[in-house]
Amino acid sequence: MLLKLLENIDRQKFEPNVISLTSLGEVGPRIAKLGIPVQALAMAPGKPGVLSVLRLVRLLRNLRPDIVQTWMYHADLIGGVAARLAGCKLVVWGLRNSNVSEDMTKRSTRMVVRACAMLSSWLPRQILSCSARAAEVHVEMGYRQDKMLIVPNGFDIGRFRPDAASRDSVREELGLSSDAKLVGLMARYDPQKNHAGFIEAAAMIHEAMPDVHFVLAGGGIEGENAALTELINAHGIEHRMHLLGRRDDMPRLMASLDVLASSSYGEAFPNVLGEAMASGVPCVVTDAGDSAEIVGETGRVMQTGDMQGLAKHIVELLRLPESEKTALGLQTRARIEACYEIGLVARSYEDFYEQTGSFHRLTAL
Structure confidence at residue 234 (pLDDT): 97
> Is 159 within a domain?
no
Torsion angle defined by CA atoms of residues 229, 233, 238 and 240, in that order, rounded to the nearest 10 degrees? -110
CATH number at residue 145: 3.40.50.2000
> Are 141 and 233 contained in the same domain?
no
* pLDDT at position 104: 65
Q: Which amino acid is at 355?
A: Q
Note whether 335 and 204 are same-domain residues.
yes
Tally of domains within the chain: 2
The pTM assigned to this predicted structure is 0.89
C-beta atoms surrounding 345 within 10 Å:
21
The reported pLDDT for the residue numbered 180 is 97
Same domain for 123 and 200, yes or no, is: no
Kindly list the averaged pLDDT for each block of 10 residues, start to end, along the chain of length 365: 95 94 93 96 79 92 94 93 93 87 77 94 94 92 95 96 97 97 97 96 98 97 96 97 96 98 91 97 96 96 97 98 96 97 96 77 73
**How far apart (Å, rounded) are the C-alpha atoms in residues 35 and 58?**
23
Kind plus residue range of the DSSP H or E element containing 20: strand 15-20
- Whether 266 is in a domain gets the answer yes
pLDDT for res 268? 84
pLDDT for residue 98: 77
Q: Which domain holds residue 137?
A: 2-154+342-364
Cα dist. 96→24, 139, 267, 323 in Å?
A: 19, 14, 8, 37
What is the structure's pLDDT at 358? 56
